[in-house]
Amino acid sequence: MGRYLLVAFVALVAFGATLGGSFHFDDYALFSDPAVVSPSGWLDLFRPAQTRPFTYLTLWLNYQTGGQDPAGYHAVNLALHTCSALILLWVARRLVDARTALFATLLFAAHPILTEAVAYVYARSTLLMTLFCLLSLAAWTRGRHWVAVACFGVALLGKEECVAWPAFLLLFDWSRGADRRGWRAIAAMIALAAAAGARVLYAVSVTPGTGAGTQAGVTPLAYLAVQGAVILRYLRQLVAPWGFSVDPQIGPYALWVELLCWAAIVAGVTLATRWFRNLGPGLWFLAGIVLLLPSSSVLPAADLAADRRMYLPLVAFAIGGAMLLRNLCWEAFALVIGAFLAISLHYSLVWRTENSLWTEAVAQAPRKVRPRIQLARTLDQPHALAALEEARRIAPENPDVASEEGRVYLSAGMPAQALSAFGQALSLAPNDAEALQNRGAALLALGQREPARRDFDEALKRNPCLFEARLNLLRMGVKTEAPDNCRFTPSQKSDLAGSR
Q: What would the pLDDT profile of 88-101 be if each residue is shown by its tens digit?
A: 999 999 999 999 99
Q: Whole-angstrom Cα distance, residue 175 to residue 279?
A: 6
Percent of the chain with pLDDT over 90: 84
Instruction: State the pLDDT at residue 200.
Output: 85
The region of weakest confidence among 116-120, 195-199, 456-460, 479-483 is 479-483
Q: What's the burial of 210, exposed, middle or buried (CB within 10 Å: 0-12/13-18/19+)?
A: middle
Binning pLDDT at 50, 70 and 90, where does residue 208 land?
low
What value does the mean pLDDT take over residues 337-349? 98
Instruction: State the pLDDT at residue 205.
Output: 72
| 72 pLDDT higher than 60 | yes
The region of weakest confidence among 12-26, 109-123, 419-433, 481-495 is 481-495
Instruction: State the pLDDT at residue 125.
Output: 97
Percent of the chain with pLDDT over 70: 97
Instruction: State the pLDDT at residue 341.
Output: 98
Instruction: State the pLDDT at residue 494.
Output: 87
Binning pLDDT at 50, 70 and 90, where does residue 499 land?
very low
Instruction: State the pLDDT at residue 216.
Output: 60
Binning pLDDT at 50, 70 and 90, where does residue 143 land?
very high
Packing angle of the helix pair 220-239, 311-324 (nearest 10 deg): 40
> Do 300 and 170 meet the contact criterion of CB atoms below 8 Å apart?
no
Q: How many residues does the chain have?
A: 500
Instruction: State the pLDDT at residue 484.
Output: 82
Q: What would the pLDDT profile of 152-188 be if each residue is shown by its tens digit?
A: 999 999 999 999 999 999 999 999 998 888 899 999 9
What global pTM score does this model have?
0.94
> Do 261 and 228 meet the contact criterion of CB atoms below 8 Å apart?
yes
Per-residue buried b or exposed e for 198-208, using 16+ beta carbons within 10 Å of the residue's own CB: ebbeebbeeee
Q: Whole-angstrom Cα distance, residue 326 to residue 329?
A: 8
In this structure, which amino acid lies at residue 216?
A
Instruction: State the pLDDT at residue 225.
Output: 95
What value does the mean pLDDT take over residues 356-370? 96
| 196 pLDDT higher than 70 | yes
Phi, psi of 270 (to 5 degrees): -60, -45
Q: Whole-angstrom Cα distance, residue 133 to residue 83?
A: 12
Instruction: State the pLDDT at residue 470.
Output: 93
Mean pLDDT of the residues in the chain? 94
| 214 pLDDT higher than 80 | no
Instruction: State the pLDDT at residue 421.
Output: 96
Binning pLDDT at 50, 70 and 90, where does residue 488 land?
confident
Binning pLDDT at 50, 70 and 90, where does residue 209 land?
low
Q: What would the pLDDT profile of 41-71 be if each residue is shown by its tens digit?
A: 888 887 887 889 999 999 999 999 999 999 9
Which residue, 165, 284, 161, 297, is CA-closest to 230?
297
Q: What would the pLDDT profile of 275-314 be if each residue is shown by its tens digit?
A: 999 999 999 999 999 999 999 988 888 899 999 999 999 9
Instruction: State the pLDDT at residue 300.
Output: 87
Instruction: State the pLDDT at residue 179.
Output: 80
List of domains in the chain: 2-208+313-357 (no CATH), 369-496 (1.25.40.10)
Q: Whole-angstrom Cα distance, residue 64 to residue 77?
A: 17
> Do 15 and 78 meet the contact criterion of CB atoms below 8 Å apart?
yes
| 215 pLDDT higher than 90 | no
| 207 pLDDT higher than 80 | no
| 261 pLDDT higher than 60 | yes
Checking phi first, is residue 15 left (phi over 0); if not, alpha (psi -120 to 50) or beta? alpha
Q: Whole-angstrom Cα distance, residue 453 to residue 447?
A: 11
What would the DSSP string read from start to end of 404-455?
A: HHHHHHHHTT-HHHHHHHHHHHHHHSTT-HHHHHHHHHHHHHTT-HHHHHHH
